[in-house]
Structure 1
Amino acid sequence: MADSDERETRRLVRRVRSFAAAHGGRAEGQISYLGTRGYRLVLVGADGGWGDLVSRSRDALTHAAERSNVPLHEAFDGELAARVRTGAYEWKRMAGIQIGGAGRGH
């Protein structure tokens, strides 16, 4: 692994571990391709809280999850998706997107 990849992985490990600690001590995740931006690791904590990290390197995200003892799922569906807990902000934002309101970032 190149030095820059290792630095990126270490940075991601710190963020993954911090997320897990703040959300019940453990997390699970799923990596998806974003196109030219790279890859997105969605994390779901033991408490249902969720967050994400983006990197140009799928390998860096995969290694960060492995080093943080975060199991990775093939898809963001089923049991993993069912554990996500959303709050009023997310529901309001989703409703705004659906009806063309402020949630669209205008």
Structure 2
Amino acid sequence: MSSAETATAAASDARTERRAKRIAKHLTSFAQQHGGSADAVVEYVGTAATRIVVVGADGAWGDQVAPTYAVGRRAVAIAGLTLHDDFEGELGLKVKTGPYEWKRMAGIQLGG
């Protein structure tokens, strides 16, 4: 690898780390507001984004978008969240939904 390629790779790694740290602040704040810990799943949204679904200890949930899968996984690691491979089983059972979510889901099913 040439020195120019090495410099480009180092700049890319630094950019990834900065983005991950910025997102991790939001994830850490969410966890602190919802019981002190949280679980997360990193999912591909498409070629230009990744979604981090976060479930707090109290069952509250939210999401954060990251520019890449690597940034999403790194942000979860920096925030100290428990990373899951998928959103099934025990993690799904932790989620508490309210009237808003039920109304939205019903509206989608009914074509609203």
TM-score, normalised by the number of residues in structure 2: 0.84
| 3-state SS of 2:53 partner | strand
Secondary structure at the aligned position of 1:53 is classed as strand
The residue aligned with 1:96 is 107
More helix per residue: 2
Partner of 1:9: 20
- Give the 3-state SS of the residue equivalent to 1:16 in structure 2: helix
SS of the aligned residue for 2:97 comes to coil
Q: Give 1:31-50 correspondences, 5 Å limit.
A: 31-50=42-61
Moved more, 87-96 or 64-73: 64-73
* Larger-gyration structure (1/2): 2
Q: How many Å separate the matches in 2 of 1:34 and 1:22?
A: 26
Q: Secondary structure at the match of 1:42?
A: strand
Superposition CA RMSD, Å: 1.2
Task: Name the CA distance, whole Å, in 1 between partners of 2:61 and 2:81.
Answer: 13
CA distance in 1, matches of 2:16, 2:41: 20
- Uncovered stretches (5+) of structure 1, i.e. residues with no partner: 102-106
Count of residue pairs brought into register by the alignment: 101
